[in-house]
């Protein structure tokens, strides 16, 4: 098992590098991250040129990528304008600052391999600090949605499998197909329309739709739980439909297996047969689904957080994409890629724990 884990980690390194190269190239093709500042009348062309040189945007693309990985504190970068006449006089204060006789200036970034993801162009703060502010909010929403998905999806799937082709099973099947075929933004908008807009019109207690807390509230736990309801429902609805269908199919296959008939012949209780024997062998699809869903939740439910103004990773990604903040976008992409690889590896390990027949060498 140890050799298998080490081999998988080594195999994942080229994949992560390839992903970051592709994303880095796409972001560079998307435009100038300082373009939004050019409309500011207080920012001159000389200031813009200085900021571009200080950010390393005038460096060749391969060198920019190396600096992002390894840092640029070892690289001497000339921040002075080319052929600027004020360089002839060391007492002159130029647009880029007072000339002190230094020709080359070392960079300040340490690179992602040393835990430095750069400075956000939008927030003017280290990317790590920005992510640390937003990640806990996403973890609150993600853990709530994932727990709701697992509990309801497994329970509905097991009940449908124990009563196949019954009225309950038919209703669940119909609702699952309808829900699974709907885009998440439509589910979120319908939830807002019914539980917020219509409930308010009908004089019923309605649910808030924006943010984690009321700006005029006391930021209490009750306030947070109420505001979690709509985004959790929107995020979990489609996954509950998927989980219930997978669990139903796996449970039907397990219940009709020979070892289940043997367990019944031995006189085991139906509860023990279903929960201990059948469900354990039917949980393989659940392991795969959870392993795939966790990275998506950690990356931030982009649509859900944007609709409900939830200050998490998903909304941060959309805002950074709108304002073209490459350090944030690259860090976000790398976080999702690493979590996908990690949780897929964790799923393989759990497979071996659930089913002793699975062995890795």
166: left (phi over 0), alpha (psi -120 to 50) or beta: beta
Give the predicted TM-score (pTM) of the model: 0.81
Residues 354 and 347: their CA atoms lie apart, in Å, by 10
Residues 259 and 285 in one domain: yes
Residues 327 and 126: their CA atoms lie apart, in Å, by 9
For residues 119 and 327, is the Cβ–Cβ distance under 8 A? yes
Residues 110 and 142 in one domain: no
Per-residue pLDDT of the chain (361 residues; tens, 9 = 90+): 677 778 777 888 888 888 888 878 877 776 777 766 667 677 777 777 777 777 777 788 888 888 888 888 777 776 666 545 454 444 444 544 444 444 456 667 788 888 888 888 888 888 999 999 999 999 999 999 999 999 999 999 989 988 888 899 899 999 998 998 888 889 999 999 999 999 989 988 888 888 888 877 777 888 889 999 999 999 899 889 989 988 898 888 888 888 888 888 888 888 888 877 788 777 777 888 888 888 878 766 788 888 898 998 988 988 888 888 888 888 888 888 888 888 888 887 777 676 666 666 5
Any idea how long the chain is?
Answer: 361
Number of independent structural domains in the chain: 2
Which range of residues forms the domain containing residue 325? 127-354
Is residue 16 situated within a structural domain? Answer: no
Residues 89 and 146 in one domain: no
Residues 126 and 123: their CA atoms lie apart, in Å, by 8
Of 120, 135, 159, at which residue does a domain stop? 120
Residues 142 and 279 in one domain: yes
Of 120, 151, 173, at which residue does a domain stop? 120
Is residue 19 situated within a structural domain? Answer: no
**Closest to 222 (Cα-Cα) out of 213, 230, 231, 211:** 213
**Closest to 125 (Cα-Cα) out of 296, 315, 331:** 331
Instruction: Say which CATH number the domain at 309 has.
Output: 1.10.3720.10
């Amino acid at each position: 098992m140890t050799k298998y884990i080490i081999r998988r980690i080594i195999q994942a390194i080229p994949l992560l590098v390839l992903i970051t190269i592709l994303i880095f190239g796409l972001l560079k093709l998307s435009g100038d991250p300082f373009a939004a500042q050019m409309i500011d009348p207080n920012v001159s062309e000389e200031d813009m040129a200085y900021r571009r040189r200080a950010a390393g945007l005038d460096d060749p693309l391969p060198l920019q990528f190396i600096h992002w990985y390894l840092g640029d504190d070892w690289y001497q970068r000339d921040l002075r304008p080319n052929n600027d006449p004020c360089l002839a006089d060391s007492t002159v204060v130029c647009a880029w600052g007072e000339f002190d006789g230094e020709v080359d200036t070392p960079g300040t970034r340490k690179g992602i391999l040393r835990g430095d993801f750069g400075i956000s162009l939008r927030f003017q703060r280290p990317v790590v600090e920005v992510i640390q502010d937003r990640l806990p909010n996403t973890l609150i929403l993600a853990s709530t949605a994932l727990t709701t998905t697992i509990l309801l999806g497994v329970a509905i799937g097991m009940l449908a499998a124990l009563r196949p082709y019954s009225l309950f099973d038919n209703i669940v099947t119909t609702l699952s197909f309808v829900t699974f075929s709907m885009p998440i933004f439509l589910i979120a908008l319908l939830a807002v329309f019914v539980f917020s807009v219509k409930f308010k019109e009908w004089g019923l207690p309605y649910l808030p739709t924006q943010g984690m807390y009321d700006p005029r509230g006391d930021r209490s736990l009750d306030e947070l739980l109420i505001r979690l309801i709509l985004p959790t429902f929107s995020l979990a609805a489609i996954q509950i439909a998927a989980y219930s269908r997978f669990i139903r199919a796996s449970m039907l296959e397990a219940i009709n297996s020979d070892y289940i008939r043997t367990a019944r012949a031995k006189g085991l209780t139906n509860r023990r047969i279903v929960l201990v024997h059948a469900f354990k062998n039917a949980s393989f699809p659940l392991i795969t689904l959870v392993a795939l869903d966790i990275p998506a939740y950690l990356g931030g439910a982009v649509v859900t957080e944007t609709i409900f103004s939830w200050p998490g990773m998903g909304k941060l990604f959309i805002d950074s994409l709108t304002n073209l903040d490459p350090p944030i976008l690259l860090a976000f992409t790398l976080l999702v890629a690493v979590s996908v690889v990690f949780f897929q590896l964790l799923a393989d390990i759990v497979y071996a724990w659930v089913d002793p027949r699975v062995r890795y060498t």
